[in-house]
Amino acid sequence: MPPSPTNGNQRGYIIPIGGAESKLRNPEILDRFVDLCGGKPARIAIIPTASELEDTGRNYEKLFRRLGVNHAMVLPFITREDCKSSKYLEYIEKADGVFMTGGNQLRLSTTLGGTAVAQLIRRRNAVGMHVAGTSAGAAFMPEHMIAGGSEGSTPRPNKVTLAPGLGLTNNFIIDQHFRQRDRIGRLLTALAYNPFAVGIGLDEDTAAFIRPGDDLEVVGSGGITVIDPTDLTHSSMDRAGFNDPVSLIGVKLHILVSGGRFEIATREAFAE
């Protein structure tokens, strides 16, 4: 379970981004993240662990400074030993926001999972620090992480691999590059395994700004596919063979674009 806010604090935003967010021309998503974090005086910790490219973190550091942030710092967690660094932990302790880059979400879960860094991010988010992640960084955010899978529209037991995520929320399972890579089948499969959660399929250059209470608003140029299994009446997952198609009846699907909202308590969607 995600940590609960303490001493009257309000949880920070959770901001999964579908990848390929606009960085120079109309960087609406990143601008809004910066504004939430406090604008110019904000302190933003950049975690490039998911990426194998050496310049990923530095490029985001330069980008946030170009967007007006005075304090943006790369925290190069390459090994689990790095996650014990008092210098990096102190920076997160004082940060207004954390940004996790894209790459391979398994690099995030195997490097950060269960470490002091992961625990601190969860605690700080519970008392107001905002956490954003793009692509792999988005997938890593919830309790149940999509670690991999295959394309296609029909759910099948072998279409998705799940692993423990960061655990900022247990209400959602998140997938990214959604329309561009035809990932509805693997998100449906993940929900068939865990119909407690709501699925969020993020198109590229599109983000879900998830408020305290887990209500979300769509920001960006694409759409978000919200898959709600609350009224699921039938699933054949329990008897399907490894590569068999899975029957799901009663699943509700919404397509939301910029300004659209979804309220987790009532499971209602709104166009704006």
Catalytic residue annotation: 135, 177, 204
The β-bridge partners of 228 are 252
The β-bridge partners of 254 are 226
Query: Helix or strand or coil: residue 188?
Result: helix
Q: How many Å is the Cα radius of gyration of the chain?
A: 18
Strands 206-210 and 14-17: antiparallel
Of 258, 260, 261, residue with least CA distance to 220: 258
Q: Are 160 and 146 in contact (CB under 8 A)?
A: yes
Q: Which helix (H) or strand (E) holds 268?
A: strand 268-270
Q: Are 107 and 50 in contact (CB under 8 A)?
A: yes
